[in-house]
Amino acid sequence: MHLRRTWCVVRDMVGGLRAGCARLQVKKFGTILNGLFKNQVTLKTKSLYTRSDPFCCGPEKSWSKPAGQDTGLKVFNSLTKRKEPLILAKEGAASWYSCGPTVYDHAHLGHACSYVRFDILQRILSRVFGINVTHIMVITDIDDKIIQRSQKDNISATALAKIYEEEFKNDMSALKVLPPTLYMRVTENIPQIIAFIKGIINNGHAYATHEGHVYFDIRSIGNRYGKFTGMSVAAYEQGEGGKRDIRDFALWKASKPLEPYWESPWGRGRPGWHIECSTIASSVFGDQLDIHSGGIDLAFPHHENEIAQCEAYHKCDQWGNYFLHSGHLHLRGSTEKMSKSLKNYITIKDFLQSYSADEFRMFCLLSRYQSAVDYSDTSMAIARSLLQSISAFIHDAESYMKGQLLCQAVDEVALWQRLADTKASVQKALADDFDTPRAIDAVMSLIHHGNCQLQVISKANGSSRSAAPFGAIVSYIRDFLDVLGIDVMGKKLLHSVDSPGLLENVVEELVRFRSEVRSIALAPQEVTPSNTKDGTPPGQPRRDRVPLLRACDALRKNLEPFGVHIKDRGTHSTWEISRKQKE
């Protein structure tokens, strides 16, 4: 509320000043304003903000429910700050635009978290709800940060951007983030951007300055600006000058000497940051967009300005219907988000030295995508251990199905019921704003019940086996994880071996050989006049075969560090391969 009120004060101050020497004075007031906000001073000039004022009344038009197909899902829409039914303009198809990376440096885990979370949402939309998602992502390959870094590193902005774009794509691939339908680069859309800016000027919502900048004219849209709250004055661009209002933002920036530039009707320059997204999204999807996503830090001013530009250009009331924002990733114990400027980041490459993409994905699934999430080794250990529990259950269930694991009689009816209940709970959770923690919880509960039914016994007791429900459960869990992008059986591991499946076959043969040796070593001592002499009690392994058992144990232990886990179950042994754990 203070912000809005202060805006009224500022508007009047700035308005009064414009009569005088506008440019310098606006800058001064920007400074004063910053001081006001920092000190939380509220001017108590009541008359200033109680009268009818375009800045004080909130957005003129509230969100309207789009016409189209109700998907049955509910999503948290940042435009209304509540869950809304997800209605798509075209049946079975979603248009989705996301702000991609500014390619001037390595991507860090905070970025990874946002991209993985939205990848999960898109996979759920397409694989669980059968919605065809067209996802466009922009690569910001020209920007102040790119120019500064390229000047510092003494390479061209184009080369720098190419290097980091390639690295970003490799990082995303390593994290198993599906590529968008199309990546679009800003520098390949300059004519479209210039045409879009011209359109906004022609519609009376932008103006060019003598210096060759073009600014969006906030006042021209009345009180429609401000769809997202949480504005901070620091977020407003100070501008190069010639702004009519401090909130006005650049659509086109005149280039300084030695900076890359493009010719335009306003002179040599380059696009402002926000205009690229409006132009590129509109060039693919026209005047209506179903879903727009990005990190919560992009809501203001970036998305606010994208909306203003698109609605001004298309002369429409509602360009983007749903804005989905992901919460920040914090290092545990820190209240700050992970960011390059704060130098508290972990690069994706470094992270993947210690943990797998699947483990990170599980970490992301354990929180709601909008919530802020704490990152630490402990939270990663939880994710790792959940994956290990799932993998262990699948192996046990498979061993039971193969007849290698003897178990007590299983309550089949209860298992089938559990499976049906789990499917329903998962579907319900995912339709409720992609509640992945609740869905994971339902699946872990199914695994718990499955494990409870697998009560291992050492001798066959004649009870019937119930392979079918376990088969159905294993198949469901694999599908569920596959939808989310997790390969629980670690098949990716085998890519490092020349021939796919080679490692698996070698381990299978090794374990089979070991099992034979063990069963011979464990064969009970026969009672004969000759062997009673060595003192081994009847029913125990022969003393001369004990070294064989030791050798079998040593092999089991020695394979552990390589991620090959052998479990002895009576005379049978089962095995699984997990990712090699690095220090």
Contact residues for Zn ion (CB under 5 A)? 99, 277
Complex with Zn ion: residue 143 or 248, whichever CB lies closer: 143
Helix (H) or strand (E) holding 24: helix 22-38
What minimum distance in Å lies between the beta carbon of 160 and Zn ion?
Answer: 21
> Residue 249 Cβ, how far from Zn ion at the closest point, in Å?
13
When the beta carbons of 35 and 179 are compared against Zn ion, the nearer one is: 179
Q: Count other C-beta atoms under 10 Å from residue 527's C-beta.
A: 11
Kindly give, in sequence order, each residue whose CB lies less than 8 Å from that of residue 466, ignoring residues fewer than 6 positions away.
Answer: 409, 410, 412, 415
Q: Are 275 and 282 in contact (CB under 8 A)?
A: no
264 in Cβ contact with 252 (< 8 Å): yes
> Residue 140 Cβ, how far from Zn ion at the closest point, in Å?
8
CB nearer to Zn ion: give 66 or 271: 271
CB neighbour class for 479 (10 Å; exposed up to 12, middle 13-18, buried from 19): exposed
Whether residue 42 contacts residue 2, with contact meaning beta carbons closer than 8 Å, is answered with yes
DSSP string, 186-230: GGG-HHHHHHHHHHHHHTTSEEE-TTS-EEE-GGGGGGG--SS--
CB of 354 to Zn ion, least distance (A): 32
Tell me how far, at minimum, the Cβ of 99 lies from Zn ion, in Å.
3
> Tokens at residue 440, please?
């994971």
* Phi, psi (deg, nearest 5) at residue 14: -65, -40
Contacts for 414 with CB less than 8 Å, ≥ 6 apart: 449, 453
**Residue 542 near residue 490 (C-beta atoms within 8 A):** no
Question: How far apart are CB 342 and Zn ion at their closest, in Å?
Answer: 22
Nearer to Zn ion among residue 278 and residue 356 (C-beta) = 278
Cα separation, 473 vs 245, in Å, equals: 62
Give min distance, CB of 256 to Zn ion, in A: 24
What is 226-252 written as a DSSP string?
-SS----GGGS---SS--SSTT--EEE
Smaller CB separation from Zn ion, 99 or 308: 99
Phi, psi (deg, nearest 5) at residue 99: -80, 125
Kindly tell me which of 138 and 473 has the beta carbon lying closer to Zn ion.
Answer: 138
Residue 301 Cβ, how far from Zn ion at the closest point, in Å? 11
CA gap 142, 104 in Å, rounded? 9
CB of 98 to Zn ion, least distance (A): 8
Helix or strand or coil: residue 273?
helix
516 vs 514: CA distance, rounded Å: 5
- Supply the minimum distance, in Å, between the C-beta of residue 27 and Zn ion: 27
Minimum CB separation of residue 225 from Zn ion in Å reads: 17
Identify which of residues 55 and 97 has a Cβ nearer to Zn ion in the complex: 97
Looking at the Cβ atoms of 254 and 277, the one nearer to Zn ion is: 277
Name the token pair of 540: 């125990």
Rounded Cα gap, residues 225 and 182, in angstroms: 30
C-alpha span between 176 and 146 (Å, rounded): 26
